[in-house]
A = this chain, B = another copy of it.
Amino acid sequence: MSNLKQLAEITRLPILTVYQALEGQASVTAAVRQQVQTAATSLDYTLNITIRDVAALADVSVGTVSHVLNGNTRTRPETRQRVLQAINDLNYRPNSMARGLKSNHTRLIGYGWHKTEDPGRPNALLDRFLYDMAQAAEAWGYHILTFAQPSQISLKRYDELIQTTRIDGLVLTDINYHDERVRYLLKSGVPFVAFGHTNEDWDFPSVEVDGRLGMKLAVEHLIARGHERIGLLCWPEGMRIGDVRVQGYIDVLAAAGIPLYKPWIVRIRNSVDHAFLATQQLLAAHPRPTAIACTNDVMALGVKRYLNQIGLEAGIDVAITGYDDTPIAELVELTSIRQPIDMVAAKVIEILIGEIEGKPVPRRNILLEPTLVVRASSRTQR
Give the B-binding residues of A (Cβ under 8 A): 91, 93-98, 100-101, 106, 108, 113, 115-116, 119, 123-124, 126-128, 130-132, 134-135, 138, 143-148, 160, 163-166, 272, 298, 301, 305, 327-328, 330-333
Contact = CB atoms under 8 A, between A and B. Distances in A.
Contacts of A119: 327, 330-331
Given A97-B165, A101-B101, A143 B143 contact: no
Contacts of A94: 164
Contacts of A128: 115
Nearest to A160: B93
Contact of A146 (B144, B164, B328): B144
Contact of A145 (B101, B127, B143, B305): B143
A298 B93 contact: no
Interface centre among A108, A130, A148, A163 (most CB of B within 10 A): A148
Contact of A147 (B95, B138, B301, B333): B138
Nearest to A115: B131
A323 B138 CA distance: 34
A361 B123 CA distance: 35
B124 A143 contact: no
Contact of A97 (B100, B160, B332): B100
A95 B328 CA distance: 43
Contact of A134 (B95, B98, B147): B147
Given A138-B148, A143-B145, A332-B301, A97 B106 contact: yes
A272 to B, nearest CB: 6
A91 B148 contact: no
A310 B14 CA distance: 77
Contacts of A132: 115
A144 B113 CA distance: 13
Contacts of A131: 113, 115, 148
A327 B332 CA distance: 13
A90 to B, nearest CB: 11
A370 B93 CA distance: 42
Contacts of A330: 119, 272
A9 B20 CA distance: 55
B146 A91 contact: no
5 contacts: A96-B106, A124-B327, A134-B146, A138-B148, A272-B331
A95 B164 contact: yes
Contacts of A272: 330-331
A113 to B, nearest CB: 7
Contacts of A101: 95, 97-98, 101
Contacts of A91: 163
A332 B124 CA distance: 16
Top 10 A-B pairs, shortest CB-CB distance = A93-B163, A119-B327, A135-B148, A134-B148, A97-B100, A97-B101, A93-B164, A96-B164, A97-B97, A95-B165
A382 B135 CA distance: 50
A146 to B, nearest CB: 5
A191 B258 CA distance: 64
A108 B138 CA distance: 16
Contacts of A93: 160, 163-164
Given A123-B127, A134-B147, 17 more contacts: A91-B163, A93-B160, A93-B164, A98-B101, A115-B128, A115-B132, A115-B135, A119-B331, A124-B127, A124-B327, A126-B127, A130-B146, A138-B147, A143-B145, A144-B146, A145-B145, A146-B146
B163 A331 contact: no
A188 to B, nearest CB: 11
